[in-house]
Structure 1
Amino acid sequence: MSTLKKTAAALIAGVLIAAAPVAAEAKELFLYNWTNYMPPDLLKRFTAETGIKVTLDQYDSNETLLAKLQAGGTGYDVIVPSDYMVKIMADQGLIQDIGVNQMPNFKNVGGPLKAPYFDPDRKYTAPYMYGTTGFTYDSAVTGPLESSWKEFFEPKEVLKGKIGVLNDQREVILAASYYLGVPACSEDPKQMKKVQDLLLAQKPFVALYNSDGTIERMVAKEVVMHQQWNGAAHRTKQDLKTAVYVYPKEGINLWADNLAVPVGAKNVEEAKTFINWMMDPKNIAEATNFTGYMNAVPGSAEFLDPALAKDPAVVPPKEDEALMKMAPGCSAKAKELMDKVWTNVRK
C-alpha cells in the first residue's frame, strides 16, 4: 500500500473511531450504612439483577452520619438514618424528596411505618429495619436477673469491668432517663444532672463504650452484659445459648431505620432503583434474616427464617409491647444538655 493510501486509511479509521458511540459508563451506587447491617450476598444479588455495582462504607451512630453530611463531603447515594434523625436531616435540607410514596414497591409497605411521624408522607425515606434497644446478659455467669434497667445501671459487683455500653449518646441517655423516670429529651438541668450522676456511677462497671462488635464481644465472653439492639441480641443467642435479652419494665426505646438519598448524591436514579428494590418482600426478608430485625413489609413473612418468630428478642411478648417507646427528636436546648452529659461521662 502506498504511503498516500496508508495515510488516507489511517485518517478514515480515526474518523470512524471518533464517531463510534461512547461505551456506556458502568452504573454504581455508594451506600453508607450501619456496621454489619446488610447482607453482602443481598448486595451481590442486587448488582447481578440491575448491573449497579455497590460500594459500602459503614458508620456506628446517627451523629457520625449527621456530621459527615453537615461537613458537605458525603460522596454517598443512599444512607440509613433512624427515625428522629430523618426529621433533623429533612429540616436541615440534607436529604432529598425522592417520592418514595410513588415508587412501585411502596404498595408493599404496611403498618404504622407506612406513615410515621418523622416522614408522614414518605417523601424522603423508605422503611428498612425497626427494633428495640435493651440489654443482653449471660445468665450462665449472673443467674436470672430482674427485667429492669437497674441491673444495667446499678449492677452487682460481679459485673465490675464486665459491661459493654453502646457508643451512642441518645440510646444511653434515653435508657438512663427511662430508669430514673426523667422525661425523654428533658430540658431541665437538674433532671439531666441525675442522668449524668447515674452514668458516672456506672463507669467502674463499664469495660468499653462501643457500638461495633457487640455480638462477637458477648460470644467471646469478653463482657458479661452488653447494651444491644434486639437484632444483635438475636444473633448473639445463636452462638451463646445462655444469653438473655431484657425488656426493662421502666421502658425500652423503639426505633426505625430508613433508606434515604442525601442532597448532592451523584447517582440518584441508581439510588431510587435500590430503594424500590429493597421494598420487595423477598429482598427485605433477606435483610431481616441477616440482621435479626423486623421490617415493614408484611408480605415478607413467607420468606423469613422461622427462628426469628420464636425469639422474644425479635418478636416481643404481648405483655412487653406496652414498654416500647419511640422517642421524638430532642429540642436544641435538650440536645445541648445531652451533649454536656455525654462529654462529661466520656472524658
Structure 2
Amino acid sequence: MKRLLCATFLVAAGPALAEGELNIFNWGNYTNPDLITKFEKEYDVKVTVTDYDSNDTAMAKIEAGGHGFDMVVPTHSYMQIYINKGLLMETRPDQMENFKNMAPEWVDVDWDPGRHYSVPWQWGTTGIAVNTTAYSGDPNTSAIFMDPPEELVGKVNVVPEMQDVMSLALMYVGSEPCTTDKEALKKVRDALVAAKPKWLSMDYGMTEKLSSSDVMASVNWNGSTFRARLANPNVVYGYPKEGYPLWMDSIAVLADAKNVENAKLFQNFIMDPENAALISAFARYANGIAGSEAFMPDDMKTAPEIVVPEELKAAGKFSPACSDEAQGYYTAIWTELQK
C-alpha cells in the first residue's frame, strides 16, 4: 500500500488515497458485497473476506498463526480474551474521524472501554426460529430445543455456538450465564443430553434451511431469522421468556496484521452511517452507528426480529466473558454433547 505520513492523518483528513490489500476474517454470510465494492473503489484496496462459523473456530485459527488475516469480528464475550492474549492491535478508533457517529451507548462498553480496539459491526439477539406450519404454539421459550414439543421432535436444529446455547440452557433452568454452580451445570448437562436425540441436527446455515423448510425450528440469531422470514413468511422468531443472550460483534485489527493502515481505514469507513447501514441492510441486524437508520430498508424499522416486544425486553442479557473455571465446565458439557 502507499505509505502515508501517519494513521492519524489518514483517518482525520477525510477520504484518503490508499492501495494494496485487506484481508478480513468474518462470520459467514455476514458481509455485504456492496460494502466491500464501495470500499475497494474508494481506496483502491483489494479486499478478501474469509468466512468462519464460530468464535472458537476463529480464535483457534488466529492463535495458530500464519493465517494472513488483518481483521477479525469477535463477539463481545470473546473480545477481552483476544485482548488479554495479545491478539489485537490497539488502533484507537476513538481517535478516528468518524468516531463521532458511534451511538453513545456503545462507546464505553465492558469488553472494550472507550473503544481503543474495536468498532461495532452488528448487534442482536439469540433466540428461537419456528416454522408455524409445523408448530403453532408459543415460540418465546427455550423449551423448543430443551424439551421439544411432539410436533417438532426430529425437526429442530441447534446452532453449534457454545456460548449462546449454554447461556440459553442455563437461563432456561433458572441459572445465569457463566455460572460455576455445579448443581445448575449438572441440570443443564442432563437436560441437553436428554434433548439431543430429539434434535435433527447441530448445524449453521439456518437462513437457507429455514427458508426452504428443511428445518422447522432452530436456535438461531435474529437477523438470520429475519432473512429467512423474507423468503418464507411461515418463519417466526421467538425471544425465550426464560432469558436470551444479547450480543455485539465488533471488528478489530489483529496484532500481526500486514495491512494495518488499510485495516484502520476500514474501521473508520464503517463508522460512516451510510456504510454501517449497508452492513445492516444485508445481514439484517442493528449496528452501533447513530444516524444509520435513515439509510436502512424501511422493513427493518418494524421487523419483529429487530423490535423486541416490551414484555420480553427484560429477559435479554449481555453475557460476560466467562471465567476459566466456567469455560472449563462449558467445554466439558459441550464435548459430551458433540459425541
Bucket of the pairwise TM-score, normalised by the shorter protein: over 0.9
2:64 to 67, 71, 75: 71
Q: Establish whether residue 246 from structure 1 lines up as the match of residue 238 from structure 2.
A: yes
State the shift of 1:26 in Å: 5.0
Which residue of structure 1 aligns with residue 173 of structure 2? Answer: 180
1:3 corresponds to which residue?
none
- 2:227 matched residue in structure 1: 235
Instruction: Give the equivalent residue in structure 2 for 1:255.
Output: 247
Task: Quote the Cα distance in structure 1 between the aligned partners of 2:18 and 2:294.
Answer: 38
Distance 1:321 1:307 in 2: 20
Corresponding residue number in structure 1 for 2:9? none
- Misfit runs of 4+, over 3 Å: none
- The code of the aligned residue for 2:272 comes to D
Deviation at 1:146, TM superposition (A): 5.0
Question: Where in structure 2 are the equivalents of 1:189-204 lying within 5 Å?
Answer: 189-204=182-197
Query: What amino acid sits opposite 1:323 in the alignment?
Result: A
Distance 1:146 1:282 in 2: 34
1:281 is the counterpart of 2:273 = yes
TM-score by length of 2: 0.93
Counterpart of 2:313 in structure 1 is 321
Correspondence for 2:51 among 28, 46, 58: 58
Q: Quick one: distance in 1 between partners of 2:298 and 2:332?
A: 44
Q: What amino acid is the match of 2:55?
A: N
The secondary structure found in structure 2 opposite 1:194 is helix
- Distance in 2 separating the partners of 1:119 and 1:242: 39
Deviation at 1:145, TM superposition (A): 2.0
Aligned length: 323
For structure 1, the residue ranges without an aligned partner over 5 or more in a row are 1-23
On the 8 A contact 2:18/2:262 being kept in 1, the answer is no
- Superposed displacement of residue 318, structure 1: 2.6
Query: 2 CA distance for matches of 1:308 and 1:331?
Result: 36
For residues 228-279 of structure 1, what are the alpha-carbon distances to aligned partners after superposition, in whole Å with 9 as ceiling and x for unaligned? 1100011011011011100111111000000101111000000000110011
Task: Report the AA paired with residue 96 of structure 1.
Answer: M
- The structure with more radius of gyration: 1
Q: Does 1:297 align with 2:289?
A: yes
SS at match of 2:134: helix
* Residue type of the alignment partner of 2:257: A
Give distance in 1, aligned partners of 2:136 and 2:309: 21
SS at match of 1:148: coil
SS at match of 1:96: coil
- The match for 1:97 is 90
**Structure 2, unaligned stretches of length 5 or more?**
1-16
Show CA shifts across 1:296-326 (max 9, x none): 1121111011101111211212332211100
In terms of fraction of residues, the more helix-rich structure is 1
Equivalent residue letter for 1:69? I
Q: Aligned to 2:125, which of 118, 121, 132?
A: 132
Question: Residue 128 of structure 2 contacts residue 139 of structure 2 at CA under 8 Å; is this kept in 1?
Answer: no
Instruction: Give the whole-Å Cα distance in 1 for the aligned partners of 2:95 and 2:154.
Output: 51
CA shift, 1:193, in A, is 1.3
Percent identity for Structure 1 against Structure 2: 37
The structure-2 alpha-carbon separation of the partners of 1:137 and 1:25, relative to structure 1 and needing over 3 Å to count, comes to closer
Give deviations 1:10-68, integer Å, cap 9, x for gaps: xxxxxxxxxxxxxx995100010000001112101110111011011000111111111
- Which residue in the other structure is 1:85 paired with? 78
Tell me, in whole angstroms, the C-alpha distance in 2 between the residues paired with 1:83 and 1:249: 22
Report the alpha carbon displacement of residue 292 of structure 1 after superposing the two structures with TM.
0.6
Partners of 2:247 and 2:122 lie apart in 1 by 9
The amino acid across from 1:29 in the alignment is L
Task: Name the counterpart of 1:40.
Answer: 33
Distance 1:324 1:92 in 2: 29
- Distance in 2 of aligned mates of 1:131 and 1:143: 25
Q: Does 1:114 align with 2:107?
A: yes
Cα deviation for residue 188 of structure 1 reads: 2.5
What's the secondary structure of 1:181's corresponding residue?
Answer: coil
Moved more, 259-268 or 66-75: 66-75
SS at match of 1:140: coil
Q: Summarize the alignment of residues 13-32 of structure 1 with structure 2, pairs less than 5 Å apart.
A: 27-32=20-25
**Residue 202 (structure 1) shift:** 1.1
Aligned equivalents of 1:193, 1:230: Cα separation in 2: 29
How far is the alpha carbon of 1:108 from its aligned partner? 0.2
Alpha-carbon distance in 1 for matches of 2:265, 2:161 = 31
What is the Cα deviation at residue 149 of structure 1? 1.2
> Structure 1, residues 110-152: CA drift from partner, whole Å, max 9, x if none?
1321211111120010111000000110112211325221222
The one of 127, 138, 141 aligned to 2:134 = 141
Cα contact 2:129–2:139 (8 A) shared by 1: no
User: In 2, Cα distance between the equivalents of 1:55 and 1:217?
Assistant: 26
Q: Which residue in the other structure is 2:336 paired with?
A: 344
